[in-house]
Amino acid sequence: MESVDLSESNSLKMRQGEHIILRLTYISRYNTDNANGEVTRILEQARQNNERNGITGALVFNHNYFLQSIEGARPIINGLLRKLVQDERHHSLQVIECREVEQRHWNKWSMKYLIPSDENKGLALKFSTGNEFNPYLMSTNQIMMLIDTLSELQEQEEQRASQKKKPWYALG
């Protein structure tokens, strides 16, 4: 077997900026005319690719809008952004925030999927400017807060659901 000079491959990665972690958040509109565009298929592809490429993140789908945060090595995130812009399953992509981070926020998920539940439907409106959900009218802060709050509420709901399944003697 051929031996790999790790120090050389590491220094190449450094030169390409792979040690720098970027978090990029964008919004886009779902293309309802694209027959290959089912959201479950998009999510499956995202999770498979991201696991391979060391990308983590969260995807919100609400009222035909996407809000997505992706984090990973800078050249990888830039490569994905180019693909996303060309992807005809959505359109009108707008970058909301792009910054270097010390630590990943979504490090547990290759792509966490967030859809407002019946219980927290009003939340998306709470962070919106008008009386209709439209992320293009929302500020960066409002969008970031919406993603974070949805994620926290979903986790609480999941915890409650898993507690319900436990027998009484296992409840802590």
Ligand X SMILES: Cc1cc2nc3c(=O)[nH]c(=O)nc-3n(C[C@H](O)[C@H](O)[C@H](O)COP(=O)(O)O)c2cc1C
Side by side, which strands form the sheet with 112-114?
Answer: 90-100, 21-30, 65-73, 56-62, 112-114
Quickly count: other Cβ atoms within 10 Å of residue 169's Cβ.
Answer: 5
- Residues forming beta bridges with residue 94, ordered by sequence position: 27
Q: Between 22 and 55, name the residue whose CB sits nearer to ligand X.
A: 55
Considering beta carbons, is residue 18 or 87 the nearer one to ligand X?
87
26 forms part of the interface with ligand X (CB under 6 A): no
Binding mask 89-118 for ligand X (x = CB under 6 A): xx--------------------x-------
One-letter amino acid for residue 117 of the chain? S
Selected binder of ligand X within 15, 82, 83, 165 (CB under 6 A): 83
**Position 87 contacts ligand X (CB under 6 A):** yes
Q: Which of residues 44-73 bind ligand X (CB under 6 A)?
A: 45-46, 49-50, 55, 57, 59, 66, 68, 70
What string of DSSP letters covers 118-161? STTHHHHHHTSSSSS--GGGS-HHHHHHHHHHHHHHHHHHHHHH
Which member of 22, 27, 42, 124 binds ligand X (CB under 6 A)?
Answer: 42
Contact flag: residue 78 with ligand X (CB under 6 A): no
Terminal alpha carbon distance of the chain? 52
- Residues making contact with ligand X (CB under 6 A): 42, 45-46, 49-50, 55, 57, 59, 66, 68, 70, 80, 83-84, 87, 89-90, 111
